[in-house]
C-alpha cells in the first residue's frame, strides 16, 4: 500500500492490455468438408468463425485479425485481401457492398471484415477447378502457416514502429517475455487428415513459431494429424479434437478466445498424450522406429540405397545391421565364476540370467 519506491509505477505500465493479432488458418479442403457436411457444413462453420472473429475484435480496440485459407492446391489470403487482386474485382465488389455496409445495426468494422472475408471465400471456391480437386486430397497447410508467420512478422514490426518509434525488431524476438508488444497467435481450424508429405515444412514453421513465441492453436474438426499435435505442443498452444463439431462456437469462445495474457490465469485444454512420431524423409511415412543419419539427423524408414544419406550425401556405415546375432557360448563364463569363489563381489556382475 505505502510502497515508497517507484516500482509499482513500472508494473502498471507493463500490465496494460496489449493488442493481440489472431491469424486464423482455415483448412478449406473440399474433400474433408464434403465428409463433414452432414454434421457441420462449411457455411455454418464460417458463420461461427465470423462470430468468433468479432468477439476477438470486441475484446480490444487495437486487436487485429487475419485469415488464410489452406486450400487443396494453394494457400490464399481471405482477409485482408491481397492488394494484387485486379481492379475489375473491386468494381464488382462495390456493386453489392454499400447497402450492407450502411447497416446501422452492425458495428462497422465487423461488417467490413465479414464482407471482405465472404467475398474472397466465394472467389476462392468459384475459381477452384474440378481437376484441382481431383488431383489432390490434402491441403496446403505448410504454405498457409508460412503465410501466417510472415504476416505476423510484418505486423509486429509495423506495430513496434508506430508505438515506440524505433524498437529494433530483433529485440522483440529475443526478449524473454515481450508482454508490451503485439501478442500474436495462430489458430488452425483443421479438417484434413494426413499431412505426412509436408512434414519438413510444417516442422520448420513450428520451430520458427516457437522461436517467435507464437502459440499455434489447433482446432481439429475431423481427421487426425500427428504433426499439428506436435506443432501445438512445441509452441505451447492449445490442441482440441472436437467430438461434436456442432458446438464449434462454444469451443471457440471458451478455449481459443483467451489470448496469452488471459491464458496465464487459465488452465488451457491440451493434449495429454502427444504423438511424437516423425515422418521419414524418403517415403513420407510416419514411423515409430527409424534410421537417423548421424550427420544431418535426417530420418529414414529403411536404410537408404547404397547407405548414402539422401539429404547430405554422407556415406553411412551401417555396421552389422541386418546380420543375425551370433550365439555366444556360456561355458567359459560359468567356469570363471566358480574360480571367483562365492561370487560375492557386487561390482563385476552382469544381469542375472534365468536358469543360471
What cell was used for 107? Answer: 458495428
As measured in angstroms, the least distance from the Cβ of 207 to another protein is 24
3-class secondary structure, 318: coil
Site track for another protein across 177-196, x = CB under 8 A: -x-x----------------
Q: What are phi and psi of 27, to 5 degrees?
A: -80, 110
Cβ proximity to another protein, 34 vs 266, nearer residue: 266
Site string for another protein, 84-103 (x = CB under 8 A): ------------------xx
Burial class of 220 by CB neighbour count within 10 A (0 to 12, 13 to 18, 19+): buried
Residue pointed to by grid coordinates 561370487: 343
The reply to whether 170 sits near another protein by the rule CB under 8 A is no
Stretch that binds another protein, among 15-23, 136-144, 188-196, 210-218 (CB under 8 A): 15-23
- Between helix 226-234 and helix 199-211 the angle, nearest 10°, is 10
Q: Which stretch binds another protein (CB under 8 A): 128-136, 164-172, 188-196, 219-227?
A: 164-172
Among 165, 339, 347, 351, binds another protein (CB under 8 A): 165
Q: If we measure between CA atoms, which residue out of 82, 65, 80 comes closest to residue 116?
A: 80
What is the CB neighbour count within 10 angstroms for residue 132? Answer: 14
CB-count exposure of residue 322 (10 Å: 0-12, 13-18, 19+) = exposed
- Contact between 118 and another protein (CB under 8 A)? no
Q: Does 312 bind another protein (CB under 8 A)?
A: no
51 contacts another protein (rule: CB under 8 A): yes
- Please pick, from the candidates 155, 258, 275, 292, the single residue that binds another protein as defined by CB under 8 A: 258
Close Cβ partners of 264 (under 8 Å, ≥ 6 residues apart):
none
Sign of CA dihedral 110, 113, 116, 117: negative
Determine the Cα–Cα distance for residues 3 and 199; give it in Å rounded to an integer: 54
Q: Which position among 212, 253, 274, 310 is part of the footprint of another protein (CB under 8 A)? A: 253
Please tell me the distance from the alpha carbon of residue 169 to that of residue 134, in angstroms, as a whole number. 43
Of positions 31, 35, 44, 54, contacts another protein by CB under 8 A:
54
- Of 132-140, 251-259, 280-288, 316-324, the segment contacting another protein by CB under 8 A is 251-259
Furthest CA-CA distance within the chain: 101
Selected from 86, 87, 88, 162, the binder of another protein by CB under 8 A is 162
Q: Which stretch binds another protein (CB under 8 A): 25-33, 174-182, 299-307, 308-316?
A: 174-182
Give 5 or 288: the residue with its C-beta nearer to another protein. 5
Candidates 22-30, 35-43, 194-202, 252-260 — which segment interacts with another protein by CB under 8 A?
A: 252-260
Beta-strand (E) ranges in 41-99? 64-70, 75-79
- The Cα–Cα gap between 27 and 68 comes to 9
Q: Which residues bind another protein (CB under 8 A)?
A: 1-2, 4-6, 9-10, 12-13, 15-19, 51, 54-55, 58-62, 102-108, 110-111, 114, 162-168, 171, 175, 178, 180, 249-250, 253-254, 257-258, 261-262, 264-267
Amino acid at each position: 500500500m505505502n510502497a515508497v519506491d517507484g516500482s509499482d509505477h513500472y508494473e502498471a505500465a507493463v500490465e496494460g492490455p496489449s493488442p493481440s493479432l489472431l491469424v486464423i488458418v482455415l483448412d478449406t479442403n473440399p474433400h474433408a468438408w464434403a465428409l463433414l457436411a452432414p454434421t457441420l457444413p462449411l457455411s455454418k462453420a464460417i458463420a461461427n468463425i465470423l462470430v468468433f472473429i468479432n468477439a476477438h475484435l470486441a475484446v480490444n480496440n487495437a486487436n487485429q485479425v487475419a485469415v488464410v485459407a489452406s486450400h487443396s492446391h494453394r494457400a490464399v489470403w481471405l482477409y485482408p485481401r491481397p492488394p494484387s487482386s485486379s481492379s475489375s474485382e473491386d468494381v464488382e465488389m462495390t456493386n453489392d457492398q454499400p447497402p450492407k455496409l450502411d447497416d446501422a445495426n452492425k458495428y462497422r468494422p465487423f461488417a467490413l471484415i465479414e464482407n471482405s472475408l465472404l467475398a474472397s471465400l466465394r472467389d476462392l471456391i468459384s475459381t477452384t477447378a474440378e481437376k484441382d480437386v481431383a488431383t489432390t486430397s490434402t491441403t496446403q497447410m505448410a504454405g498457409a502457416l508460412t503465410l501466417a508467420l510472415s504476416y505476423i512478422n510484418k505486423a509486429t514490426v509495423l506495430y513496434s514502429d508506430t508505438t515506440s518509434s524505433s524498437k529494433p525488431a530483433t529485440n522483440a524476438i529475443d526478449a524473454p517475455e515481450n508482454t508490451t508488444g503485439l501478442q500474436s497467435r495462430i489458430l488452425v481450424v483443421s479438417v484434413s487428415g494426413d499431412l505426412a508429405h509436408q512434414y519438413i515444412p510444417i516442422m520448420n514453421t513450428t520451430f520458427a513459431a516457437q522461436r517467435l513465441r507464437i502459440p499455434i492453436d489447433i482446432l481439429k474438426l475431423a481427421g487426425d494429424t500427428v504433426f499439428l499435435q506436435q506443432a501445438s505442443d512445441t509452441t505451447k498452444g492449445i490442441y482440441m479434437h472436437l467430438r461434436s463439431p456442432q458446438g464449434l462456437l462454444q469451443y471457440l469462445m471458451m478455449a481459443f478466445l483467451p489470448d496469452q495474457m488471459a491464458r496465464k490465469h487459465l488452465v488451457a485444454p491440451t493434449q495429454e498424450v502427444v504423438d511424437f512420431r516423425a515422418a521419414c524423409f524418403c517415403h513420407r511415412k510416419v514411423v515409430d522406429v527409424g534410421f537417423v543419419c548421424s550427420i544431418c539427423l535426417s530420418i529414414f524408414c529403411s536404410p537408404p540405397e547404397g547407405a548414402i544419406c539422401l539429404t547430405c550425401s554422407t556415406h553411412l556405415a551401417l555396421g552389422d545391421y541386418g546380420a543375425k546375432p551370433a550365439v555366444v557360448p556360456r561355458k567359459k563364463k560359468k567356469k570363471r565364476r566358480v574360480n571367483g569363489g562365492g561370487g560375492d563381489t557386487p561390482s563385476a556382475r552382469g544381469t542375472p540370467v534365468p536358469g543360471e
